Amino acid sequence: MATVTLTAENFDEVAQGDGIVLVDFWAEWCGPCKRFAPVFEKSAGKHADIVFGKVDTEAQPELSERFGIASIPTLMAIRDGVIVFAEPGALPESVLENVIEQVRALDMEDVRRRAET
């Protein structure tokens, strides 16, 4: 599946749905972002059931501010409308695949229960 460009206008619609959304916060001038981009794209090609979204932090500063993005690239994982992972840094392919496995394996009832306490 191709990556989706996320903006302030479509972010909530995409992120609040059921399933997994991986978001790459990036900028054109960022070297590590450019190194991570092909890893993110390759993973998008392997996981058709996951939405892979990209937020250009230069074009969408309100989203960066909303989520407290202080360093890029930052990868955020959202499952069933809940942010379950967010970490800065250009991840190697094996680590990104591990994050995907862990997000898939989450017991979302347990995640929601813990979030309420």
What are the Cα distances from residue 75, in Å, to 15, 109, 110, 115, 116? 14, 23, 22, 20, 24
Q: Which of 106, 36, 88 is nearest to 3 (CA)?
A: 36
For residues 92 and 96, what is the distance between their CA atoms, to the nearest angstrom? 6
Q: What's at 98, amino acid-wise?
A: N
Residues with a catalytic annotation lie at: 30, 33
For residues 72 and 88, what is the distance between their CA atoms, to the nearest angstrom? 6
